[in-house]
Amino acid sequence: METQYKLTYFNGRGLAEPIRLLFAYAKVEYEDVRIEKPQWPSMKPTTPFGKLPILEFDGKKVGQSVAICRYLGKKWNLTGKDDWDSLQCDVLVDTLGDLKQQVGQYRMEQDPAIKEEKKQNLIKETIPFYLQKLEQIVKENDDYLVGGQLTWADFQYAASLENFELIFGKEALDQYPHLKALKERVFELPGIKEWVAKRPVTEF
Amino acid sequence: MAGETGDGNKHIETNSAMSPKYKLTYFDLRGLAEPLRFLLAYGDIEYEDSRFTFEQWPEMKKSMPFGKVPVLEVDGQALHQSMAMTRYFAKQLKLTGDDDWEAMLCDIMVDTMNDFRMQVTGYYYEPNEETKEKKKEVLFNETMPFYLERLDEEVKKNDGHFVKGKLTWADLAIVAMIDFMEDQLQTKFTDNYSNLKAIKEKVLDLPQIKAWVERRPKTNY
């Protein structure tokens, strides 16, 4: 019997989008539930650890988007050719996580002066620091992240690079042609292309 | 040089004369390196436990892959990202549960503990005294009870472990984090949560872990 999947998140791409991209690529059906902010307080206690996204299947409910992506990645043969490749996927996704955390801290900053300072720091130092190194890795892997082949890490990066362009401008990736190529290749994949054409257009 | 075994284990041959040379580099702290040190101790895997001072850090930082530690060199090749590395060794030591589902449950527990740990670290390193006081209130009155109750419940419903009644890397990594976080907060916060207290004691009583804890450098956290 086919597994029924139900993904619940806010109405946005955010932490859920890499999961949605994986489902689209694997061409596996799932219920894409998006809640409005006012629904969250009453839903929160029903989640395992008070956070979204959650994925429900086979009578179980799990959170932690990266753990879910790794699980689905394994299921759909997107973890590279061996344990070492799987490790590299994990290393690079967690590295992206560190960068996202810094960008998140800038976005959440309330004080306008501090926020501008954080933005400048990001644009001048942090982002180039990370993207230059990541660009080199992708260049060495034929415009993939790991092992010269498509892995679940590429979906995480594609989702983040898309957000990156929305925050910092369409030209922001121009100086990183291999990262840009990786993003474009993922979004051109069969299944993903169709998903992007029909998914809700949201701010985040 | 470790040979290919065709199953992804080419970088670990724990009982062979050709074992890779491991060198772990971190601050002289438990912190994010300790879950990995627990796994290496549990697996009797030899490694050079290299520690540097805060004064040495600005210079050391330049030679790290992404300017962060811990870094593990495997025959000269540098790995980073503590949880990725810890999971890799867990896999080699068969501590990721019995199947992909249980492996995910391990990941979920460790990631959840990490979310909790980041709140504690955010408070611990807050430079502004006033903000720190406010953070302390939220941490002790809301965040800690929220996580500790749920983590305690997980151990209870999983027969004394974090995943499915058996030892996994989730137990080792989480107890390593509890161990240093209790020192950061100067509070044995697991004392009031009997299931967490029990798994903490169970892990610290494992012979290899006990021996490691006895011989490791004594640090603030």
To the nearest whole Å, the CA of B215 is away from the closest chain A CA by: 29
B146 touches chain A (CB under 8 A): yes
B8 touches chain A (CB under 8 A): yes
B42/B23 Cα distance (integer angstroms): 17
Every domain of chain A and the residues it spans: 5-76+190-198, 83-187
B111/B33 Cα distance (integer angstroms): 15
What value does the mean pLDDT of chain B take?
A: 93
Residues B83-135: tens digit of each pLDDT: 999 999 999 999 999 999 999 999 999 999 999 999 999 999 999 999 999 99
Give the tokens for residue A187.
């979004």
B119/B113 Cα distance (integer angstroms): 10
**Residue B220 resides in a domain:** no
pTM of the model: 0.94
B125, B200: one domain:
yes
Q: How far is CA A181 from CA A80, A144, A185, in A?
A: 19, 9, 6
Closest in B10, B67, B87 to A90, CB measured: B87
B67, B112: one domain:
no
Output the pLDDT for position A79: 98
B115, B181: one domain:
yes
To the nearest whole Å, the CA of A197 is away from the closest chain B CA by: 31
Q: In a structure prediction context, what are the per-residue pLDDT tens digits for chain A, which is 204 residues long?
A: 789 999 999 999 999 999 999 999 999 999 999 999 999 999 999 999 999 999 999 999 999 999 999 999 999 999 999 999 999 999 999 999 999 999 999 988 999 999 999 999 999 999 999 999 999 999 999 999 999 999 999 999 999 999 999 988 989 899 999 999 999 999 999 999 999 999 999 998
Domain of B40? 2-93+208-215
Output the pLDDT for position B18: 72
Closest to B39 measured CA to CA, from B172, B166, B203: B172
Nearest CA in chain A to B113: A49
A70/A95 Cα distance (integer angstroms): 15
B196, B114: one domain:
yes
B202, B104: one domain:
yes
B171, B186: one domain:
yes
**Residue B198 resides in a domain:** yes
Closest in A70, A85, A87 to B107, CB measured: A70
Beginning with the edge strand found earlier in the chain, give each strand of the sheet holding A60-63 in spatial order: A31-35, A6-10, A54-57, A60-63
B106, B186: one domain:
yes
B192, B110: one domain:
yes
Return the percent helix, strand and coil in chain A, to nearest 5.
Answer: 65, 10, 25
CATH architecture of the domain with range A5-76+190-198: 3-Layer(aba) Sandwich (3.40)
**What is the CATH classification number for the domain harbouring B194?**
1.20.1050.10
**Residue B144 resides in a domain:** yes
**Residue B73 resides in a domain:** yes
- E strands along B21-158, which residues? 22-27, 48-52, 71-74, 77-80
**What is the CATH classification number for the domain harbouring B12?**
3.40.30.10
Output the pLDDT for position B9: 47
User: Using a CB-CB distance cutoff of 8 angstroms, which residues of chain A are in contact with residue B146?
Assistant: 50
B54, B140: one domain:
no
B59, B144: one domain:
no
**Residue B43 resides in a domain:** yes
- The total number of structural domains that make up chain B: 2
To the nearest whole Å, the CA of B152 is away from the closest chain A CA by: 12
Give residue B42's Cα distance to chain centre. Answer: 12
Query: pLDDT band at residue B157, thresholds of 50, 70 and 90?
Result: very high
Output the pLDDT for position B11: 59
What CATH fold (topology level) applies to the domain A83-187?
Answer: Glutathione S-transferase Yfyf (Class Pi); Chain A, domain 2 (1.20.1050)
Give the tokens for residue B102.
């249980």
B188, B140: one domain:
yes
Check: CB of residue B179 under 8 Å from CB of residue B218. Answer: no
A74 contacts B87? CB cut-off 8 A: no
For range B149-174, the mean pLDDT: 97
Nearest CA in chain B to A94: B81
